Amino acid sequence: MTATEDVATGLPAATFAEAMSRLVSGLAVITTRQAGGAPCGLLVSSICSYSVAPPSVLVVIDHASRCRESLARCAEFGVHVLGGTQERAARTFASRGADKFADVAWTWDGVVPRLYAAPIYLRCATSAVFDHGDHTVLIGEVGRVEVEDAEPLVCYRRLFDWGLRRGR
Protein backbone atom coordinates (compact mmCIF):
# COMPACT_ATOMS: atom_id res chain seq x y z
CA MET A 1 0.00 0.00 0.00
CA THR A 2 1.37 3.39 -0.93
CA ALA A 3 -1.38 5.68 0.33
CA THR A 4 -0.23 8.38 2.69
CA GLU A 5 -2.20 11.12 4.37
CA ASP A 6 -1.12 14.34 6.00
CA VAL A 7 -2.22 14.36 9.63
CA ALA A 8 -2.21 18.16 9.62
CA THR A 9 -4.91 18.24 6.94
CA GLY A 10 -7.09 15.66 8.66
CA LEU A 11 -6.50 11.96 8.59
CA PRO A 12 -9.32 9.88 7.08
CA ALA A 13 -10.50 7.21 9.51
CA ALA A 14 -10.28 4.57 6.79
CA THR A 15 -6.59 5.30 6.24
CA PHE A 16 -5.88 4.96 9.94
CA ALA A 17 -7.96 1.76 10.15
CA GLU A 18 -6.19 0.24 7.17
CA ALA A 19 -2.79 0.97 8.69
CA MET A 20 -3.76 -0.51 12.06
CA SER A 21 -5.28 -3.61 10.44
CA ARG A 22 -1.70 -4.51 9.54
CA LEU A 23 -0.72 -4.71 13.18
CA VAL A 24 -0.83 -8.42 14.05
CA SER A 25 -2.86 -8.95 17.19
CA GLY A 26 -4.24 -11.64 19.40
CA LEU A 27 -7.94 -11.66 20.17
CA ALA A 28 -9.73 -11.80 23.49
CA VAL A 29 -13.29 -11.89 24.74
CA ILE A 30 -13.93 -9.48 27.60
CA THR A 31 -16.82 -10.37 29.88
CA THR A 32 -18.62 -8.97 32.87
CA ARG A 33 -22.00 -9.00 34.58
CA GLN A 34 -24.56 -6.38 33.71
CA ALA A 35 -26.43 -4.51 36.45
CA GLY A 36 -29.46 -6.75 35.86
CA GLY A 37 -27.39 -9.88 36.39
CA ALA A 38 -27.00 -11.13 32.81
CA PRO A 39 -23.55 -11.78 31.33
CA CYS A 40 -22.19 -9.58 28.57
CA GLY A 41 -19.09 -9.84 26.43
CA LEU A 42 -17.37 -8.62 23.31
CA LEU A 43 -14.39 -9.47 21.13
CA VAL A 44 -11.39 -7.12 21.32
CA SER A 45 -8.01 -6.85 19.71
CA SER A 46 -7.17 -3.78 21.78
CA ILE A 47 -5.66 -5.51 24.77
CA CYS A 48 -2.15 -5.55 26.13
CA SER A 49 -0.12 -6.23 29.22
CA TYR A 50 0.04 -2.90 31.06
CA SER A 51 2.20 -3.37 34.15
CA VAL A 52 3.88 -6.23 35.97
CA ALA A 53 3.73 -4.66 39.43
CA PRO A 54 0.87 -4.77 39.94
CA PRO A 55 0.05 -7.32 37.23
CA SER A 56 -2.35 -5.39 35.02
CA VAL A 57 -3.89 -5.40 31.57
CA LEU A 58 -5.26 -2.56 29.47
CA VAL A 59 -8.37 -2.99 27.33
CA VAL A 60 -9.96 -0.42 25.04
CA ILE A 61 -13.72 -0.41 24.53
CA ASP A 62 -15.62 1.45 21.80
CA HIS A 63 -18.32 3.80 23.09
CA ALA A 64 -20.67 2.06 20.64
CA SER A 65 -20.27 -1.26 22.47
CA ARG A 66 -23.36 -2.34 24.38
CA CYS A 67 -20.97 -3.74 27.04
CA ARG A 68 -19.18 -0.45 27.58
CA GLU A 69 -21.32 0.88 30.39
CA SER A 70 -21.25 -2.41 32.29
CA LEU A 71 -17.49 -2.67 31.83
CA ALA A 72 -16.90 0.93 32.89
CA ARG A 73 -18.86 0.35 36.11
CA CYS A 74 -17.95 -3.23 37.01
CA ALA A 75 -15.71 -4.19 39.90
CA GLU A 76 -14.34 -7.19 38.02
CA PHE A 77 -14.12 -8.40 34.44
CA GLY A 78 -12.78 -11.44 32.63
CA VAL A 79 -10.24 -11.61 29.81
CA HIS A 80 -10.31 -14.73 27.62
CA VAL A 81 -7.46 -14.89 25.12
CA LEU A 82 -8.75 -17.08 22.31
CA GLY A 83 -7.08 -20.13 20.82
CA GLY A 84 -6.67 -21.00 17.17
CA THR A 85 -9.76 -23.19 17.07
CA GLN A 86 -12.05 -20.49 18.42
CA GLU A 87 -12.88 -18.49 15.33
CA ARG A 88 -16.59 -19.22 15.84
CA ALA A 89 -16.53 -17.81 19.37
CA ALA A 90 -14.65 -14.78 18.04
CA ARG A 91 -17.38 -14.13 15.48
CA THR A 92 -20.11 -14.64 18.08
CA PHE A 93 -18.61 -12.09 20.46
CA ALA A 94 -17.85 -9.66 17.63
CA SER A 95 -21.54 -9.71 16.74
CA ARG A 96 -24.42 -7.79 18.26
CA GLY A 97 -26.36 -10.98 18.91
CA ALA A 98 -29.09 -11.01 21.53
CA ASP A 99 -27.55 -13.82 23.59
CA LYS A 100 -23.92 -14.42 22.75
CA PHE A 101 -23.61 -16.89 25.63
CA ALA A 102 -26.32 -19.26 24.38
CA ASP A 103 -23.97 -21.46 22.32
CA VAL A 104 -20.77 -21.29 24.36
CA ALA A 105 -19.89 -23.22 27.51
CA TRP A 106 -19.43 -20.86 30.42
CA THR A 107 -19.92 -20.47 34.16
CA TRP A 108 -19.79 -17.73 36.77
CA ASP A 109 -16.42 -17.13 38.41
CA GLY A 110 -17.81 -14.94 41.17
CA VAL A 111 -19.32 -12.06 39.19
CA VAL A 112 -17.28 -12.78 36.08
CA PRO A 113 -18.60 -14.91 33.19
CA ARG A 114 -15.88 -17.48 32.50
CA LEU A 115 -15.75 -19.11 29.03
CA TYR A 116 -14.47 -22.67 29.40
CA ALA A 117 -12.82 -23.05 26.01
CA ALA A 118 -10.41 -20.09 26.14
CA PRO A 119 -6.84 -21.26 26.76
CA ILE A 120 -5.90 -18.13 28.70
CA TYR A 121 -8.19 -16.66 31.34
CA LEU A 122 -7.50 -13.64 33.52
CA ARG A 123 -9.87 -12.40 36.19
CA CYS A 124 -9.30 -8.71 36.68
CA ALA A 125 -10.32 -6.16 39.30
CA THR A 126 -11.06 -2.82 37.69
CA SER A 127 -8.43 -0.33 38.81
CA ALA A 128 -8.81 2.58 36.36
CA VAL A 129 -11.33 3.70 33.75
CA PHE A 130 -11.07 6.75 31.55
CA ASP A 131 -12.44 8.00 28.27
CA HIS A 132 -10.34 9.16 25.37
CA GLY A 133 -11.96 10.10 22.09
CA ASP A 134 -14.60 7.58 21.13
CA HIS A 135 -13.24 4.81 23.35
CA THR A 136 -13.02 3.91 27.04
CA VAL A 137 -9.76 2.64 28.47
CA LEU A 138 -10.07 0.00 31.14
CA ILE A 139 -7.18 -1.10 33.33
CA GLY A 140 -7.62 -4.25 35.35
CA GLU A 141 -5.45 -5.76 38.04
CA VAL A 142 -5.10 -9.47 37.46
CA GLY A 143 -6.11 -11.63 40.40
CA ARG A 144 -6.38 -15.02 38.73
CA VAL A 145 -4.55 -16.54 35.77
CA GLU A 146 -5.31 -19.85 34.08
CA VAL A 147 -3.18 -20.94 31.12
CA GLU A 148 -3.37 -23.95 28.82
CA ASP A 149 -1.07 -24.60 25.89
CA ALA A 150 -2.79 -23.77 22.59
CA GLU A 151 -2.08 -22.10 19.30
CA PRO A 152 -3.37 -18.51 19.40
CA LEU A 153 -6.11 -16.99 17.28
CA VAL A 154 -4.30 -14.30 15.31
CA CYS A 155 -5.85 -11.33 13.55
CA TYR A 156 -4.22 -9.59 10.60
CA ARG A 157 -5.84 -7.36 8.00
CA ARG A 158 -9.31 -8.13 9.41
CA LEU A 159 -8.90 -11.86 8.94
CA PHE A 160 -8.81 -13.95 12.06
CA ASP A 161 -7.66 -17.25 10.70
CA TRP A 162 -3.99 -16.37 10.56
CA GLY A 163 -2.69 -19.22 12.67
CA LEU A 164 0.99 -18.82 13.39
CA ARG A 165 1.72 -22.04 11.49
CA ARG A 166 -0.01 -21.08 8.28
CA GLY A 167 2.93 -19.12 6.97
CA ARG A 168 1.11 -17.35 4.18
Ligand X SMILES: Cc1cc2nc3c(=O)[nH]c(=O)nc-3n(C[C@H](O)[C@H](O)[C@H](O)COP(=O)(O)O)c2cc1C
Q: Which residues bind ligand X (CB under 6 A)?
A: 27, 42-46, 60-62, 65-67, 94-96, 155, 160
Q: How many CB atoms lie within 10 A of CB 153?
A: 26
Cβ proximity to ligand X: between 53 and 98 the closer is 98
CB of 46 to ligand X, least distance (A): 3
Cβ proximity to ligand X: between 63 and 108 the closer is 63
Cβ proximity to ligand X: between 11 and 17 the closer is 17
Closest residue to ligand X, judged by C-beta, is 46
CB of 64 to ligand X, least distance (A): 7
CB of 36 to ligand X, least distance (A): 15
CB of 2 to ligand X, least distance (A): 25
Q: How far apart are CA 164 and CA 69, in angstroms?
A: 34
Q: How many CA atoms lie within 13 A of 126 on its CB side?
A: 21
Cβ proximity to ligand X: between 17 and 145 the closer is 17
CB of 60 to ligand X, least distance (A): 5
103 burial via Cβ count (<10 Å: 0-12, 13-18, 19+): exposed
Q: How far apart are CA 134 and CA 53, in angstroms?
A: 29
Alpha helices by DSSP H, listed for the chain, are 13-20, 68-73, 87-94
Cβ proximity to ligand X: between 61 and 112 the closer is 61
Residues 71-93: b if buried by 16+ CB within 10 A, e if exposed: bbebebbbbbbbbbebbebbebb
